[in-house]
Amino acid sequence: MARRESPEINAGSMADIAFLLLIFFLVTTTMDTDTGISRKLPEKPDPNFVPPILKEKNVFEVNVNRRNEILVEGEIYMQIADLREAAAKFIDNGGGTAENLAKENLTVCSWCKGDKDPASSDHPKKAIISLQSDRGTSYATYIAVQNELVGAYTDLRNKYANDKFGRDFKDLTGEQQKVIKKDIYPQIISEAEPTK
């Protein structure tokens, strides 16, 4: 009787099978890193809460109507491309005088590069950007406006970080970032209820 050796399984096509699976997973895989504009909603207001009285010069009002037109400070129609610069100019104005700011435990903004216009914001910590949109505004415009306003802060923070530490804001240490976020250019964007 001839002894049969057990035949070896041909493993040559193993690579093909593996390739097939590999290609399947390559195609189905989505390395979608979710990105987006992060915002924090205000907490639910206390019914007895009295909103603080703000000086009008410290508020940068942005209105977006249902035709997606942007009105700034109640009088200037603006293109979205110009919004960032205008917002940065407002935040960085630093027009407050020492004695006025001392009442609110602030000192004159020494890092502000703005015009020091007394009719514009006193201090970056006082400067408030108020955004009001209409219910009919398109989301695209809304995001673009938000983006530009956040961008104005980013630009200013970067400028400050470059002057002081010689690198961009995002490359600073956590501690340095915290100081800038809190005391130098805090991001104050307030959203009003949209008009109907």
Q: Residues 2, 9, 31, 119: which binds another protein (CB under 8 A)?
A: 31
Residue 64 CB coordination number (10 Å): 23
Candidate residues 10, 29, 48, 110; the one interacting with another protein per rule CB under 8 A: 29
Residues in contact with another protein, shown as a per-residue x/- string from 137 to 176 under the rule CB under 8 A = xxxxxxxx-xxx-xx--x----------------------
Q: Residue 121 and residue 55: Cα distance in Å, rounded? A: 9
Residue 62 phi, psi (nearest 5): -120, 120
Single out the residue of 5, 6, 7, 25 in contact with another protein (rule: CB under 8 A).
Answer: 25
Among 6, 28, 48, 110, binds another protein (CB under 8 A): 28
Evaluate the CA torsion angle 11, 13, 15, 21 in order and state its sign: negative
Q: Which is nearer to another protein, 64 or 184 (CB)?
A: 64
d(CA 190, CA 149): 11
Binding mask 65-84 for another protein (x = CB under 8 A): ---x-----------xx---
Given the rule CB under 8 A, which of 42-50, 53-61, 113-121, 156-164 is the region that contacts another protein? 42-50
- Give ∠ CA 32-35-39 in degrees, rounded to 5: 150
Residues 157 and 92: their CA atoms lie apart, in Å, by 10
Among 108, 134, 158, 165, binds another protein (CB under 8 A): 134
Single residue of 9, 26, 98, 119 touching another protein by CB under 8 A? 26
Q: Rounded to an integer, what distance in angstroms lies between the CA atom of residue 150 and that of residue 137?
A: 19
- Identify the CA nearest to 93 among candidates 71, 75, 118: 118
Residues that bind another protein (CB under 8 A): 11, 14-15, 18-19, 21-22, 25-26, 28-31, 33-44, 64, 68, 80-81, 133-144, 146-148, 150-151, 154, 193-194
